[in-house]
Amino acid sequence: MKLLPAGMDAHLASRATTLCWCWRLTRKDGAVFGFTDHDKALTFDGTTFEASAGFEVSDIKDGVGLSVDNLDVSGALTSAALTDDDLSAGRYDDARVEIFRVNWQNVAQRILMRSGSLGEVRRTGKAFSAEVRGLQHYLQQPKGRLFQYTCDADLGDARCGVNLTSPTYRGTAAIAAVQSPRRFTVSGLTAYDHEFFTRGLAAFTSGPASGTAIEIKAHTKIAGVVTLELWSEAEGPPVAGNTIVVTAGCDKRIETCRARFANAINFRGFPSMPGNEYLTKVARKA
């Protein structure tokens, strides 16, 4: 049940209403954007909602139970706040979404219709469609530990304990030559072993992709030439001279944890658990 603010029930009961939709997006990096289908910008709660941003929204459906309620928001990249590069770089992934029904003549008369997070974003040219998932979505996320050979901690988190700010596990590099938006040679990392940064993270500190971080698919050092390949394309694309900070990678095996990080005491896997070959064994006469 939703409680209407003072005056809004009377406005809804009138024969002519002045209502519009307002959407507020809050990204994980704290950036906040507002959009409305009204023809003039509106401001409330410290957010300015950009006018005529070209959004369309499907019907909002509510259900009883724990099933995930969702809706689709579609539109064109007509707003300067929304860019194709930002969408490609994943800056809006899991962004918080709030959808308001507002009396544009008196914005104090508004009601929060739905809150949730952005799910799958689909793009076709300059148009996009985004799924808005209800809060029940988080109840369907896997929780708890996994019993497996490999470690289930993230390298550098509180359970792992490795200090990734140490120069031993972190390096600063500059792009020397770009082979593709995902692959480039770098300078400044020759002191590190071949594949040391494979499965690690590359955080861009300059250029069009500044502020984004992408997982490293492969780190090679051949004849003194260091090459990094990313799992996804960097925003921009990157150019020679852009700087990045790279952190070590881990393949989650006890051997790597012991040899590379001297951290076997904090290993969060179960390397001694029996595998499939043990479970499929049959009794044999000695």
Give me the amino acid identity at 116: G
Say what the pLDDT of residue 114 is: 79
Among 55, 163, 182, 188, CA closest to 118: 55
H or E stretch including 254? Answer: helix 254-261
The burial of 232, by beta-carbon neighbours within 10 Å (0-12 exposed, 13-18 middle, 19 or more buried), is given as middle
In this prediction, residue 3 carries a pLDDT of 79
How confident is the chain (286 residues) per 10-residue block, as mean pLDDT?
A: 80 88 86 87 92 58 46 53 67 82 92 79 64 66 78 91 92 93 92 93 89 91 93 84 94 93 93 78 74
pLDDT at 195: 93
Domains of the chain with CATH codes:
8-140 (2.30.110), 170-247 (2.40.10)
Q: Nearest to residue 215, comparing CAs of 229, 204, 200?
A: 200
The CB-side HSE value for 61 (13 A sphere, CA atoms) comes to 10
**What is the C-alpha separation between 97 and 133, in angstroms, rounded?**
9
Q: Are 42 and 22 in contact (CB under 8 A)?
A: yes
pLDDT at 67: 44
- Quick one: tokens of 120? 């799958």
pTM over 0.75: no
Contacting residues for 47 by C-beta, under 8 A, at least 6 apart: 24, 32, 34
Q: What is the pLDDT of residue 66?
A: 40
How many angstroms separate the Cα of 185 from the Cα of each of 43, 49, 89, 153, 175? 47, 43, 21, 30, 6
